[in-house]
Chains A and B, each alone.
Chain A
């Protein structure tokens, strides 16, 4: 789909947010990727940061701790460049939660064991209501 209008962007963006919060990380990454592929604005890195956060969670839920660690690092590196309140999302809280996921992935990775990660471990993207 060509994302030509703001309403098209919003529709896909909020679908991505809903998918993340439903812990459907693969489909979430797909939705944000659809926007990222065509975005050439200053927000492009933000979208990629969200993609990498979702992919990090996807990898962690599948036991790929090293993949998760790398994705979380890349995500945080991008998301920290944006304001705490961006596109109506509470990014300050989200970044903190991704840091927590990163720490958890590092701990699991250091143990060298395979862990089953419950969905409750993963964060949600919270909408800021003005």
Chain B
């Protein structure tokens, strides 16, 4: 499942540079994927809505692979001092699905990586 940043977020920004997929954005910022920029009300390619936040850092579900393909555990959660990066119960994805997402991201947006 994708990782969700809860409203406990203190906006310290520790998570954002750790994401290998650049799936984390500062509150209020537009996000991008495969050369396309998305605003706060734009649905993602998968149709996901409601993940954008104006107040806290947020994670784009279409870009989050829970660090599958890069690390043993989600790095945002590992560096978060307040434990507010949690599995999103509304976006459950088994490992195979996450691995497929990695492959898809490599195909559509290979330049996204840090």
Q: Which residues of A contact B (CB under 8 A)?
A: 26, 29-30, 32-33, 36-37, 48, 51-52, 55, 58-59, 64, 66-67, 70-71, 74
Nearest opposing residue in chain B for A47, CB measure: B81
Q: Is the CB of A55 within 8 A of B79?
A: no
Since A29-B81, A51-B81, A67-B8 are in contact, a sample of 13 more A-B pairs with Cβ atoms closer than 8 Å, ordered by chain A residue number, is A26-B10, A29-B12, A29-B82, A30-B12, A36-B81, A37-B79, A37-B81, A48-B81, A55-B8, A71-B8, A71-B82, A74-B82, A74-B83
The count of residues in chain B whose C-beta lies closer than 8 Å to any C-beta of chain A is 10
Q: Which residues of B contact A (CB under 8 A)?
A: 6-8, 10, 12, 14, 79, 81-83
Least CB distance, A53 to chain B, in whole angstroms: 11
Q: Which 5 A-B pairs have the closest CB atoms?
A: A67-B8, A33-B81, A51-B81, A55-B82, A55-B10
